[in-house]
Structure 1
Amino acid sequence: MKQNTQPLYFSPKLGGRPRVKRRWRGWRGANKSMIIVDDYDAIRPRRSNRFLFWLSLAVLTLIGISLALPATASEPYEKKPALEHDISAGHLLLRTEVDQVYRQSPQLSSRVHFDINGMVAAVELTQQFSNPGNEWAEAVYRFPLPAEAAVNYLKVTVGQRVIIGKIDETQKAEASYQQAKKQGQVAALTRQHRSNLFSTSVANIAPGEKISVTIRYLQPVDYRFGRFSLNFPMTLMPRYIPQQTAVLAGRDDKADLSSGWLLAANKVDDAAAVSPSMTTGGSTLINPITITATINSGLPLSKVDSAYHSIVLSRQQQVYSLSLAAAEVEMDRDFELSWQPTMAAAPKAAIFHQEVEQQLYYSLMVLPPLLSGQQLPAQAKETIFVIDTSGSMGGSSIRQAKRSLLLAVDRLKSNDVFNIVEFNSVTKPLFNRSVSADQAAITRAKAWIEKLQAGGGTEMAPALQYALQQPDRDDYLQRVVFITDGAVANEEGLFKLINRELGDKRLFTVAIGSAPNHYFMRRSAEYGRGSFTHIGDVEQLDKKMDDLFHQLESPLLTDISITWPAGFEAESYPAKIPDLYVGQPLLIKTKLVESNAERQSGESPGEVEVRGTLAGQPWRQRLVLGGPSSSAIASLWAEDKIQHLMGQKYRGVDPQWVREQVLAVALGHQLVSDYTSLIAVEQKISRPSDQLLATSDIANLLPQGSTLSVSYPKTATKAQLKMLFGGLLIAVTLFLYCVLFGRQRRAKAMPNVTE
Structure 2
Amino acid sequence: MRQMANCPFSCVVIVLVLLSCPALGEERKDKTLSPYFFVQEGDSSTDSFPLKETGVDARINGVIAEVFVSQKYVNQGSKPINARYIFPASTRATVHGMNMVVGERVVTARIKERETAKREFAKARQKGKSASLLEQQRPNVFNMNVANIMPGDEVRIELRYTELLVPSEGTYEFVYPTVVGPRYSNQPEAGAPETDLWVKSPYLKEGSPVPASFGIHVTVSTGIPLQELACPSHRVDVQWESKSMARVSLEEPKESSGNRDFILNYRLMGKEIQSGLMLYKGETENFFLLMVQPPERVQAKDIPPREFIFILDVSGSMHGFPLATAKTLIRDLIGGLRERDKFNVILFSGSSCVMSSSSVPATQTNIARAIQVIDSQQGGGGTELSPALTRGLSLPRDENTSRSVLIITDGFISAERDVFEIIRNNLNNTNVFSFGIGSSVNRFLIEGMAKAGLGEPFVVTRPEEARVTAERFRDYVQSPVLTQIRVGFKGFDAYDVEPPSVPDLFARRPLAIFGKWRGNAEGLIEVAGKRETEEYAKTFRVSEADPGEANSALGYLWARTRIARLSDFGDRGAVAETKKEVTSLGLAYSILTPYTSFVAVMDAVRNPGEQAKDVNQPLPLPLGVSNLAVGGACSKVPEPELGLLLALFILVSSFVWIYRRWSRTARRAA
Amino acid at match of 1:606: G
For residues 252-271 of structure 1, the aligned pairs below 5 Å read 270-271=195-196
Cα distance change, pair 350–739 in 1 and its aligned pair in 2 (3 A): farther
User: Residue 712 of structure 1 corresponds to which residue in structure 2?
Assistant: 631
Amino acid at match of 2:54: S
User: Residue 340 of structure 1 corresponds to which residue in structure 2?
Assistant: 267
The counterpart of 2:36, out of the listed 70, 73, 77, is: 77
8 Å contact kept, 1:457–1:715: no
Unaligned segments of structure 2, at least 5 residues: 1-6
1:371 CA drift (Å): 3.4
Residues 489-519 of structure 1: per-residue CA shift (max 9 Å, x gap): 1112222211111121100000011111101
8 Å contact kept, 1:521–1:532: yes
User: Residue 536 of structure 2 corresponds to which residue in structure 1?
Assistant: 619
User: Residue 23 of structure 1 corresponds to which residue in structure 2?
Assistant: none
Measure the CA separation in 1 of the matches of 2:274 and 2:157: 40
User: Residue 681 of structure 1 corresponds to which residue in structure 2?
Assistant: 601
1:727 CA drift (Å): 7.0
Normalising by structure 2, we get a TM-score of 0.90
Residues 402-432 of structure 1: per-residue CA shift (max 9 Å, x gap): 1111111111112111111111111211110
8 Å contact kept, 1:414–1:437: yes
Measure the CA separation in 1 of the matches of 2:14 and 2:305: 56
Identity %: 26
User: Residue 175 of structure 1 corresponds to which residue in structure 2?
Assistant: 119
8 Å contact kept, 1:66–1:726: no
1:528 CA drift (Å): 0.6
The counterpart of 1:364, out of the listed 281, 286, 290, is: 290
- The answer as to 2:132 corresponding to 1:188 is yes
8 Å contact kept, 2:48–2:617: no
Once the two structures are overlaid, the 10-residue window that deviates more, 643-652 or 334-343, is 643-652
1:347 CA drift (Å): 2.4
Once the two structures are overlaid, the 10-residue window that deviates more, 554-563 or 162-171, is 554-563
The counterpart of 2:415, out of the listed 485, 490, 495, is: 490
Residues 470-506 of structure 1: per-residue CA shift (max 9 Å, x gap): 4554422211111011111111222221111112110
Measure the CA separation in 1 of the matches of 2:166 and 2:644: 45
Measure the CA separation in 1 of the matches of 2:301 and 2:296: 11
Measure the CA separation in 2 of the matches of 1:137 and 1:59: 44
The counterpart of 1:635, out of the listed 550, 556, 563, is: 556
Amino acid at match of 2:197: A
User: Residue 3 of structure 2 corresponds to which residue in structure 1?
Assistant: none
For residues 23-172 of structure 1, the aligned pairs below 5 Å read 62=15, 66-67=19-20, 73=31, 77-78=36-37, 80=39, 83=42, 94=46, 104-172=48-116
Cα distance change, pair 611–726 in 1 and its aligned pair in 2 (3 A): same
Measure the CA separation in 1 of the matches of 2:537 and 2:397: 32
Residues 94-134 of structure 1: per-residue CA shift (max 9 Å, x gap): 5xxxxxxxx64524311011110111111111110110110
User: Residue 37 of structure 1 corresponds to which residue in structure 2?
Assistant: none
Measure the CA separation in 1 of the matches of 2:208 and 2:312: 35
Cα distance change, pair 189–582 in 1 and its aligned pair in 2 (3 A): closer
8 Å contact kept, 2:492–2:524: no
User: Residue 661 of structure 1 corresponds to which residue in structure 2?
Assistant: 581
Number of corresponding residues: 647
Residues 676-735 of structure 1: per-residue CA shift (max 9 Å, x gap): 0000001111112x2221110011110111112586266799898888778766654553
Measure the CA separation in 2 of the matches of 1:389 and 1:680: 43
1:558 CA drift (Å): 1.1
Amino acid at match of 1:547: R
User: Residue 607 of structure 1 corresponds to which residue in structure 2?
Assistant: 524
Cα distance change, pair 342–414 in 1 and its aligned pair in 2 (3 A): same
The counterpart of 2:143, out of the listed 180, 195, 199, is: 199
Cα distance change, pair 166–184 in 1 and its aligned pair in 2 (3 A): same
Measure the CA separation in 2 of the matches of 1:324 and 1:484: 29
Measure the CA separation in 1 of the matches of 2:401 and 2:86: 45
8 Å contact kept, 1:118–1:298: yes
8 Å contact kept, 2:346–2:352: yes
Unaligned segments of structure 1, at least 5 residues: 1-53, 86-92, 95-102, 245-265, 750-755
- The answer as to 2:616 corresponding to 1:697 is yes
Measure the CA separation in 1 of the matches of 2:534 and 2:288: 28
Measure the CA separation in 1 of the matches of 2:503 and 2:35: 43
User: Residue 396 of structure 1 corresponds to which residue in structure 2?
Assistant: 321
Residues 10-67 of structure 1: per-residue CA shift (max 9 Å, x gap): xxxxxxxxxxxxxxxxxxxxxxxxxxxxxxxxxxxxxxxxxxxx99x99998578534
Amino acid at match of 2:161: Y
The counterpart of 1:739, out of the listed 660, 665, 668, is: 660
1:170 CA drift (Å): 0.7
Measure the CA separation in 1 of the matches of 2:503 and 2:333: 24
The higher radius of gyration belongs to 1
Cα distance change, pair 518–647 in 1 and its aligned pair in 2 (3 A): closer
User: Residue 252 of structure 1 corresponds to which residue in structure 2?
Assistant: none
For residues 466-481 of structure 1, the aligned pairs below 5 Å read 466-471=391-396, 473-481=398-406
Measure the CA separation in 2 of the matches of 1:640 and 1:147: 11
